Amino acid sequence: MKRLLITGAAGGLGSAMRARMAKFADLVRISDIADLGAAAPHEELVICDLGDAEAVHSLVEGCDGILHLGGISVEDKFSKIMNANLLGLYNLYEAARAHGHPRILFASSNHTVGFYRQDDHIDATAPMRPDGLYGVSKCFGEALARMYFEKFGQETALVRIGSCMERPTNHRMLSTWMSYDDFEALIACVFRAPMLGCPIIWGVSDNDSRWWDNSHAAYLGWRPGDNAEHFRVELEAKVPRPAPSEPLAHYQGGQFTQDPIFTEE
Ligand code: NAI
Ligand code: 15L
């Protein structure tokens, strides 16, 4: 690619992926609503609120690919979710439509299906069962992306990320964890595939105890190489195993299923 855009680049995942993206494009346009620090020689920094349509149009112009990580990433007030995850996504897709349909990787979430039980094994055809307004916003994002695909041919990878971080920190994450290396490899497959379409892809490493089936997306050639099981002994020495009745051990969405609906002030 000539220019790859990363939104949400100041966040946890964005910070982990930022340097890794240098090899994917000549130029990387780094964006967030928050401070982004200093630009590396191959980077362009753009501070932008995803809720600002005009700013998002300029942000997307000239980009050949978009790694869309920006937005509210946990349960929050609806007004905040609405601006970043609903309006922000609409702005992004309208901008992509106006600027040549750059391929998009959308960071969706396992919270689109958080109310499945941990003994359910599901694939991409399972009906959505979001576990909060945040999860609902990701369902909206997937539906919006699908509509832009059907109507305009806009390609998007809908990556339902499990828990992408350095290492699993609780028992649930032995199933949901995705390593940074595996995410980077998935990004490569998504942007290099001759034909992408608009698949749902479970963003999860090759964990022994995973709940999600990615066989429909085998055409992308993504073979995650890490396995959370390697952390089990270390984790169990530090973290008590939750009782089977606890949400953390019961629902795929874990504790998110217990979050309240936050009221506006
Ligand atoms: P994060 O909360 O650390 O980063 C999100 C970034 O988006 C922040 O830097 C924030 O400033 C930015 N942002 C928020 N509102 C914005 C707005 N209106 N305009 C522009 N930027 C805005 O989240 P994290 O963990 O880095 O996740 C990145 C993406 O991946 C999120 O979309 C999240 O929903 C998704 N995801 C992450 C998972 C994980 O395990 N880290 C799991 C599932 C989904
Ligand atoms: C998410 O969607 C969140 O963005 C992230 O912070 C993690 O909590 C992750 O899901 C998870 O379910 O572990």
Active-site residue numbers? Answer: 134
Q: Is 262 exposed, middle or buried (0-12, 13-18, 19+ CB in 10 A)?
A: middle
The tokens of 126 are what? 């399972």
Length of the chain: 265
d(CA 263, CA 77): 6
Contact (CB, 8 A) for 9 and 30: yes
Closest-lying ligand 1 atom to the alpha carbon of residue 50: 19
The residue that leads in pLDDT, 228 or 265, is 228
Residue 35 falls within a domain, yes or no?
yes
Q: Is residue 20 part of a domain?
A: yes
- What's the 73 CA to ligand 1 centre distance in angstroms? 5
Strand-pair partners of 251: 117
* Cβ–Cβ under 8 Å, residues 71 and 84: yes
Hey, which of 69, 77, 78, 140 would you mutate to test ligand 1's pocket, going by the most ligand atoms within 8 Å of its Cβ? 69
Our CA dihedral for 6, 192, 90, 34, rounded to 10 degrees, sits at -10
Cα of 74 to ligand 2 centre, how many Å? Answer: 7
Whether 72 shows a pLDDT value over 90: the answer reads yes
Neighbours of 160 (CB within 10 A): 22
Q: Does residue 163 have its Cβ closer than 6 Å to ligand 2?
A: yes
pTM: 0.99
64 located within any domain: yes
pLDDT band, very low/low/confident/very high, at 94 (cuts 50, 70, 90):
very high
Q: What is the pLDDT of residue 265?
A: 81
Residue closest via CA to ligand 2's atom 11 equals: 163
* Residue 64: CATH number of its domain: 3.40.50.720
Whether residue 178 has pLDDT greater than 90: yes
Split into its structural domains, the chain has a count of 1
pLDDT mean across residues, the chain: 98
263 found inside a domain: no
Token pair 């349960």 in the structure block, residue? 75
Specify the pairing of strand 122-123 against strand 103-109.
Answer: unpaired
Residue span of the structural domain in which 136 resides: 3-257
220 occurs within a structural domain: yes
Give the mean model confidence (pLDDT) for residues 71-96.
Answer: 98
State in Å: Cα 69 to ligand 1 middle.
5
What whole-number distance in Å separates Cα of residue 55 and Cα of residue 13?
23
Please state the separation of Cα 97 from the chain's center in Å: 21
Give the model's pLDDT for residue 111.
98
pLDDT score for 138: 99
For residue 96, is it within any domain? yes
- Residue 133 domain-assigned? yes
Interval 102-115: pLDDT, tens: 999 999 999 999 99
What pLDDT is stored for residue 233 in this prediction?
98
Strand residues in 2-102 grouped as ranges (E): 3-7, 27-32, 43-47, 65-68
For the segment 61-66, the average pLDDT, to the nearest whole number, is 98
In a domain, 265, yes or no: no
Burial class for 111, CB neighbours closer than 10 Å (0-12, 13-18, 19+)? buried
108 CB less than 6 Å from ligand 2? no
Percent of the chain whose pLDDT exceeds 70: 100
In whole angstroms, give the CA distance from residue 67 to residue 203: 14
Q: How far apart are CA 130 and CA 75, in angstroms?
A: 11
pLDDT tens by residue, 130-169 = 999 999 999 999 999 999 999 999 999 999 999 999 999 9
Output the CA 39–ligand 1 centroid distance in Å.
20
Q: How far is CA 218 from the centre of its chain?
A: 19
